[in-house]
Structure 1
Amino acid sequence: MSHQQHPTTAGQVPALPGDRVLSKLASEPDEWALFLDIDGTLLDLAETPDGIVVPPDLPEHLHRLSMKLGGALALVTGRALPYADQLFRPYAFPIAGLHGAERRDPSGAISRIEPDASFEDLKAALAREAEQWPGVLVEDKGAAVAAHYRLAPDRQQALEAAMPRYLEMAGPDFTLQRGKMVMEIRPARASKGHALQAFLEQAPFEGRKPIAIGDDVTDEAMFRIANELGGHSIRIAEVLDGTEAKSIIRSASVLRGIVATLAGDKTAT
């Protein structure tokens, strides 16, 4: 794994390169647990939610790395659990979906927040209104709903006006989550930070230090908890700015190369 030099602003402590942090997984595999976002982190972002491409060797690399960590590898994503599972077949990793609103623990047991009839009505109303915004894609995630405007950036203002209105309809148990070209209404008591903590209360994660990797504001809660617990946080970004992450890796493709190397793929560079 190569070590890159990362730019810093005046007076800022240089960030430890993310690949150097991840090398600890090879030298101290029993000491660490790894938590990975999916979109923009393991996989390159696409114009539409269904447009992402999973490199064919990635599921096997994740599986091998998980085995080296004694199973202490989990996916923590805004995707719904069934969709995320499809991406990494035939493997089913411990996973938190919908920012923690649903979770499959290491034993395979699944817990989730179930939407009620009023939330189903809200999702239908949002989908109907979105028909007025060509290019805006409404994604029904079950206990959450997201409006993607990557194909229609000019519709951001319309969504900024509409989504708080739908949040008020959803009630105090929900929150509005902003991300990269997306706005999402999700359960307020769920977060990626809470999901990380829940995993760390169970074997094989229990007693280990967390390394959390993500690319977006939705991952900041996970970074915060990892830092507080004596672990480490890595953001997929060109520069370390406006984040609680302690390190950066420049792109999802670079991260995949590091995962391949850690998994023992001798062809990885």
Structure 2
Amino acid sequence: MLQSISPDRLPPLELLDGASLFLDFDGTLVELADRPDAVAVDQRLRGLMHRLLDRLDGRVALISGRPADQVRTLFGEPVLTVVGSHGMEFRFADGREVQAARPEGLPAALDAMHALAARSPGVLVEDKPLGAALHFRQAPEQEAACQALAAQLAQAHGMYLQPGKMMIEVRAAGGDKGAALHQLMSEPKLASTRPLFMGDDHTDEPGFAAAEALGGAGILVGPARASAARYRLADVEAVLSWLEAATGQTA
């Protein structure tokens, strides 16, 4: 059930005590960019991740819509547990890998998306291991066309239609960030802890709900809106500052 978020309901710093931390990437740890490949992980974020892993004894994972290997490459060191493709690809810090099968209809979907992008300057196609996305941040007038094509492709090829911020994606069905959080929380090291999930998009709502159901909480990043999250931080800078304060880092 969605609840109303109060703009002044900030998460207390002690919320991190005894928790397992799950983080969205784009719009949560890094600012959204016009192109997916325009994002970089700076030394501040890389150092913060090291401190979080130390503070929580490794109980940190990223759950992103991006491909898991792409997120791990952006961070380099430290080696993180990353769940990519909206909960469908697992790359554990200990080397284990689990992922769904690539949809059979994906090549045809990509061909149709590339055809749309070729006649729509500014529209970008992203080829993912388990899906394909149309980004229209640089061509907002193409939103309706992108959404219509993606809906058609999802229905034609039995794939899941995944909306996002200034993008629309078709992907393998059967998972979301909430299911991913449940699976991660079944790991022995995490099972007796409280989950915290931070995210900014509507795709993060299943993660908020799962965290709440397991005795933890969701933290919405961005403007106040109806959400399953219990707390809110204003933006990426607020997230980084809160995590730094919660790990005892001082300016």
Whole-angstrom distance in 2 between the partners of 1:106 and 1:247: 28
- Aligned pair count reads 248
**What are the equivalent positions in structure 2 for 1:56-135 lying under 5 Å apart?**
56-135=43-122
Partner-residue secondary structure (3-state), 1:129: helix
Q: Does 1:155 align with 2:145?
A: no
Match of 1:214 in 2: 199
Q: What does residue 182 of structure 1 align with?
A: 167
2:246 is equivalent to residue 262 of structure 1: yes
Shift of 1:101: 1.0
Cα separation, 2, equivalents of 1:118 and 1:176: 13
- 1:35 corresponds in structure 2 to 22
User: Corresponding residue for 1:234?
Assistant: 219
SS at match of 1:96: strand
Rounded to whole Å, the distance in 1 between the matches of 2:139 and 2:5 is 38
AA aligned to 1:39 is D
Provide the rounded CA distance (Å) in 2 between the counterparts of 1:235 and 1:192.
14
TM-score, length basis structure 1: 0.87
Gaps of 5+ in 2: none
Deviation at 1:198, TM superposition (A): 0.5
Mean alpha-carbon deviation: is it higher for 42-51 or for 71-80? 42-51
Paired letter, 1:202? E
Does the Cα contact within 8 Å between 1:44 and 1:53 map onto a contact in 2?
A: no
Is the CA contact (8 Å cut-off) linking 2:5 and 2:229 kept in structure 1?
A: no
Q: Partners of 2:181 and 2:123 in 1: how far apart?
A: 31
Residue 244 of structure 1 aligns with which residue?
Answer: 228
Q: Which residue of 2 aligns with 1:17?
A: 9
How many angstroms apart in 1 are the aligned matches of 2:105 and 2:154? 12
Query: CA 1:13–1:212 in structure 2 vs 1: closer, same or farther (change >3 Å)?
Result: closer
1:98 deviation in Å?
A: 0.4
Q: Is the 8 A contact 1:136 1:151 kept in 2?
A: yes
How far apart are residue 203 of structure 1 and its match? 2.8
Question: What is the alpha-carbon root mean square deviation over aligned residues?
Answer: 1.7
CA contact (8 A) 2:103 2:131 kept: no
**Shift in CA distance, 34/18, structure 1 to aligned 2, threshold 3 Å:** farther
Distance in 1, Cα, partners of 2:131 & 2:179: 17
Give the percent of matched residue pairs that are identical in Structure 1 and Structure 2. 31
The letter of the residue matching 1:114 is A
Residue 120 (structure 1) shift: 2.1
Q: Distance in 2 between matches of 1:17 and 1:108?
A: 38
Could you say what secondary structure the match of 1:74 adopts? strand
| Aligned-partner Cα distance in 2 for 1:93–1:80 | 14
Contiguous gaps of at least 5 residues in structure 1: 1-11
Match of 1:51 in 2: 38
AA aligned to 1:134 is P
